[in-house]
Amino acid sequence: MKKPTSPVKATTQAFIEIEDVKDDIVLLKDFSANIVIEVGAVNFWLLSTEEQESMIYAYGSLLNSLSFPVQILVLSKKMNISSYLEFLNGKINILRDETIKKRMTSYQEFIKNIVKKNTVLEKRFFFVIPFNPLEMGVSGMNARRLSREYVISRAKTSLYPKRDHLLRLLARVGLKPNVMEKQSLMELFYELYNPAPTGRQLAPVETYTDVVLTSG
C-alpha cells in the first residue's frame, strides 16, 4: 500500500506579494509597482496655535492638489530602549562628579518609570505612490507576459514625475521626505515580516544570494 502524501503547502515566498525591488521601485507579483516615501514626524503639540493652523491648512492643500492616488501608511511598534538605558549606565559609571552622577541616575530611573507605566511607541510615516499595469495600455492587461525589466522601466516613467511633485509639496508643508531605496526598503520589509523587539539591521542587500524554493 502506498502511503498517502500530504499536499505541498505554500512557501513563504508564495505568501509575500513582493516580486522584486529595483532601485526605488517595489514590483509586486501582479506586476503593479510603487514608490515609498518616508516622511519625518513633527511634534505638532510643540507648535504655536498659528503654526498648527498653518500646517493643517498646508497639509489639506497638499491632499487637494494631488491628481493621482496615494496611500498614507503609519507603522507603530513598541520602542525598545534597553540599549539607551545601557548607554546611560555606561556614562554614569565613568562620571566622577557626584552631583552630575546623581542627576544622571535620577534621569535613568525617570526613563525606567515611564516605560513601566506607559507603552512607548515608535511611529513611522510613509506615502506610497502606486503604479497599475493598466497604465501601459493594452499590453498591461497581460503584464505577466512582459519582462520584469520592461515593466519596471515603464513604472519609473510613470512614477518619477509623481514622486518629484509629491516631494516638492511635502517640503512646502515643512516635512522632511525621503525616497526609500533598495537597502532601506529591504530592511523595512524584513522588519515587517520578522518582528523583533531588539531590532536588527541587514547587511548590504547586494551581498546576499537569492534562494528560490521549489516543490521539487
pTM of the model: 0.73
Per-residue pLDDT, 12 = 62
pLDDT tens, residue by residue, 170-189 = 988 888 899 999 888 888 88
Q: Which residue ranges in the chain fall short of pLDDT 50?
A: 198, 213, 215-216
pLDDT tens, residue by residue, 82-113 = 778 888 888 888 888 888 888 988 888 888 88
Per-residue pLDDT, 216 = 47
State the DSSP string of the chain: -PPPPPPPPPPHHHH--EEEEETTEEEETTS-EEEEEEE----GGGS-HHHHHHHHHHHHHHHHH--S--EEEEEEEE---HHHHHHHHHHHHH---HHHHHHHHHHHHHHHHHHHHS--EEEEEEEEEEE-GGGGGGGGGGGGGS-HHHHHHHHHHHHHHHHHHHHHHHHHHT--EEE--HHHHHHHHHHHHS--TT---PPPGGGS--------
Pairing state between β 33-39 and 121-131: antiparallel
